Structure 1
Amino acid sequence: MARVLVVITPAEGHINPSLGLVQQLVKCGEEVTYVCTEEYRKRIEATGAKVLTYTYARGSFADDPVLKPIIYKHPYQFIQFVLRGLIEPVIPEVFALTEQDSYDYLIYDYLLGWGGQMIAERLGIPAVCSITSFAFVKPLGSEHDVDGLDDEEIQSIYESTMNTARQLADRYQLSVPDIHDIFKAYGRLKIVHTSRYFQPQVEELDDSYIFTGSSIVPRTDAPDFLLDRHQLPYAHTVYISLGSILNNNIDFYKLCFEAFRNEPIQFILSSGKDTDMEPLAGHIPDNFIVKPYLPQLEVLQQVDAFITHAGMNSTSEALYYDVPLVMIPLTSDQPMVAQQVQELGAGVIVDKNELAPAVLRNALLEVLNQSSYKQHARAIGESLRQAGGYERAAEMVMNVVSKAQSEPIPTRN
């Protein structure tokens, strides 16, 4: 039995895909300690893992003018977000919680980048990277022309980022990384929670990247939600959600009501736990069911299409259940995810800057009325289901880590 330390970015789209792997490792006899925030304690403990928690001010970070998630125009912007928004606040908390214990290996979230290497190096253990989006061949922002920002802005971001990296490295007596290595998948093994078929530019990734498909396990903290489609007066049912971070969007929900109130379709809308829907209480159409939080896995098995922000977690779960998508990418990797779905024929993109009731309505009706979208969603879903899931992921982790532990650990001068 090995002692495993798991450190995952505290967000739905990162926590949820890790749960199956952790559950399977516990089933195989591993002793898992999972470091995260208090809000995810219940679902993590359901896997059998021990939970250590820290405080992470996600709300204030999301409103920070420098670190607020955006469509990145230069890779340095994304690297700065990773370092100052995640590594700097999270890694010291992890060290404080784990410094009195010993572990045999680490599983860390890819969005922590160099932070994962910091933990592994300081504890002297091998690392496995859990990738819950696509494996990035290049950092976000690299797809834009270098003139997306002027030279002065780029230099300012570089200096600010490297100053933070030097301070962290000095504090923990570690080497300072090159700026391009701050966001990097470290470790001998990278578990990618998607399929080779769905991954863009897969031919540019080496054999350390293992594609295990969607990791789908029931969520014990999800509310009950029953929908008898046979009792509905409509032929189609559609789910609407903007995920768990950017869902406080009253204007978008109002637009949805306007776009679809006269359509013979049942809509199920997840508005978010912290969204005040009271201003719209008298405007919700009869064909809408609105809840602050829904059991997404259960809902997706009962719908014909999904209107989404194209977060990787939501997208993967929808495609796992063969659900085609209408995508409104808002930030971060969402444009990349949406583009891949559209290229593979499983959905359509609606530009957030051109969003209007007629535009959204036409996009949905196209997805519902053209059977090719469902067929292509089913093809991606089949690739996700056949990739091995968390059972294969756990097997690969234990095999690779066992080999790594049998090798001598290099000493630092």
Structure 2
Amino acid sequence: MGAHIAVLAVPSAGHVYPTLPLVEELVRRGHRVTYATGPAMRDAVAAAGADPVVPDAPWAKVAAAPSRTTEDVAETLSGALEVTRAVVPQLTAVFGADRPDVVCHDALTPFGPVLACLLDRPSVATVPTFAGNDVFDPATLLAPAGFDPAHPRMAAYAAEQARFAAETGVPAGILTSVGRQADRKLVFLPREFQIAGDTFGDDYRFIGPAFGSRAGTADWTPPPEPVLFVSLGTVVNDRPGFFAACVTAFAGTGRRVLMAVGDRVDPASLGPLPANFDVRPSFPQPAVLAHAAVFLSHTGMNSTMESLLCRVPLVSYPQTPEQEANGRRVEELGLGRVLRTAEPAVLRRTVDEVAADPAIRAALDRMAGYLRAAGGPPAGADAVEELL
């Protein structure tokens, strides 16, 4: 008889997509999965075999945006707390009447550990980016320059958090513990990519990334030429100047340039497009990466891991502190390069050098071995079943 497993995540592609192959594996093993997230991800979780639950909440408050100041950080944290206040009573009612055996929650989704605590259920944190422990704290990489934890706005957030904890009876630090209190932590990176990876204990399982069924669902025909894939992801992509620089840099080259500009940049604003360009709001990323020679990317962690799954070298043009940290790690491990400018001549030269670099190719092959050894969704499902 299968178990009932609750999965919870904010409705962001970078947080939901990494969990879907795990959901598919749990369902394949006969478990029932109920997935709580926002409306933007309802169809994706249903396609993975889960029963979607979509609470009514101000989901725009948790839309990721660059945190360039201390006030930005405080605003993001307060928005997440507002969503948590709205969501927790609804999910307590849903899962109180249909109790899960295990609660799996995104490590950066604050209502996840709150629900696990209130239901007194064993918990699994799913970690889509760098994990943290007593040795390595990801916040040291992700905080904006000049971050001031004593800023009045941060103090106001701390007071809000304390009030919420007192009202609900959960530990005061549960909202900002980055999943560390969970019984198991499933990290969608190989240990070899994790910073200070050898300092994490057995409660952290570095299972690596996977495409799951997303790899075979695209209705897309690859071009005959080598592919340069350009994308800044789904969140911080309103960068018409960058995309225009790419048009200048790669016009008339021997590559087919597939450029995903998002839904806030009008391709017409880029001027006449060269014949070797295909510009759209989005592309089926797993399918494109399977045929790409280089990925010019923001290096969000999900995109970074998907590129490594396909052994595609990365040229990083980060837009947020988190993406900058990912790009630096890519460069440290010899898997690609980080751009400091979007000047067209630099763009073209860097992409050409990365595509032709045998050391980068060798590093990608090594990383592919680590990805295979990580175990993927079966290893993650094993860790969940340990708690049943």
Shared fold (TM-score, shorter chain, > 0.5): yes
- Report the secondary structure of 2:374's partner residue: coil
1:312 aligned partner, one-letter code? M
Distance 1:158 1:49 in 2: 37
Q: 1:70 touches 1:330 (CA, 8 Å); kept in 2?
A: no
1:216-295 alignment to 2 at 5 Å? 216-219=211-214, 223-229=218-224, 232=225, 236-280=226-270, 282-295=271-284
Cα offsets for 1:329-382 (capped at 9, x unmatched): 11142122111110110100012xx32112211211110122221221222122
Match of 2:82 in 1: 88
Cα offsets for 1:54-98 (capped at 9, x unmatched): 355555665xxxx842357x7x975x4663232431453143144
- Out of 173, 176, 192, the position equivalent to 1:177 is 173
Match of 1:213 in 2: 208
The unaligned stretches of length 5 or more in structure 2 are: none
- Report the secondary structure of 2:292's partner residue: coil
- Report the secondary structure of 1:142's partner residue: helix
Match of 1:120 in 2: 116
The unaligned stretches of length 5 or more in structure 1 are: 403-413
Distance 1:178 1:246, change over 3 A: closer
Q: 2:4 touches 2:32 (CA, 8 Å); kept in 1?
A: yes
Match of 2:140 in 1: 142
Cα offsets for 1:177-230 (capped at 9, x unmatched): 289x5444221100011111111111222221001111221239965210142x
Aligned residues: 382
Q: 1:139 touches 1:183 (CA, 8 Å); kept in 2?
A: no
Does residue 307 (structure 1) correspond to residue 296 (structure 2)? The answer is yes
Distance 1:257 1:278, change over 3 A: same
- Report the secondary structure of 2:125's partner residue: strand
Distance 1:54 1:267 in 2: 40
Match of 2:22 in 1: 21
Does residue 388 (structure 1) correspond to residue 375 (structure 2)? The answer is yes
Q: 1:88 touches 1:168 (CA, 8 Å); kept in 2?
A: no
Q: 2:55 touches 2:90 (CA, 8 Å); kept in 1?
A: no
Match of 1:410 in 2: none
Q: 1:223 touches 1:294 (CA, 8 Å); kept in 2?
A: no
Distance 1:397 1:209 in 2: 12
Match of 1:411 in 2: none
- Out of 102, 106, 111, the position equivalent to 1:109 is 106
Does residue 364 (structure 1) correspond to residue 360 (structure 2)? The answer is no
Distance 1:91 1:120, change over 3 A: farther
With 380-389 and 320-329 compared, the bigger mean Cα shift is at 380-389
- Report the secondary structure of 2:353's partner residue: helix
Distance 1:147 1:303 in 2: 34
Distance 1:146 1:289 in 2: 35
Q: 1:128 touches 1:186 (CA, 8 Å); kept in 2?
A: no
Q: 1:87 touches 1:112 (CA, 8 Å); kept in 2?
A: no
Distance 1:316 1:111, change over 3 A: same
Distance 1:202 1:387, change over 3 A: same
User: RMSD of the alignment, in Å?
Assistant: 2.7
Identity score, percent: 28
Distance 1:205 1:186 in 2: 14
Distance 2:131 2:191 in 1: 10
- Out of 196, 201, 216, the position equivalent to 1:201 is 196
- Report the secondary structure of 1:364's partner residue: helix
- Report the secondary structure of 2:116's partner residue: helix
TM-superposed CA distance for 1:122, in Å, is 0.8
Q: 2:141 touches 2:321 (CA, 8 Å); kept in 1?
A: no
Q: 1:214 touches 1:385 (CA, 8 Å); kept in 2?
A: no
Q: 1:83 touches 1:165 (CA, 8 Å); kept in 2?
A: no
- Report the secondary structure of 1:154's partner residue: coil
Match of 1:408 in 2: none
Q: 1:312 touches 1:337 (CA, 8 Å); kept in 2?
A: yes
Distance 2:355 2:51 in 1: 44
TM-superposed CA distance for 1:173, in Å, is 2.8
TM-superposed CA distance for 1:303, in Å, is 0.9
Distance 2:72 2:170 in 1: 23
Distance 1:343 1:204, change over 3 A: same
Distance 1:264 1:271 in 2: 21
- Report the secondary structure of 2:54's partner residue: strand
Distance 1:329 1:398, change over 3 A: same
Does residue 38 (structure 1) correspond to residue 39 (structure 2)? The answer is yes
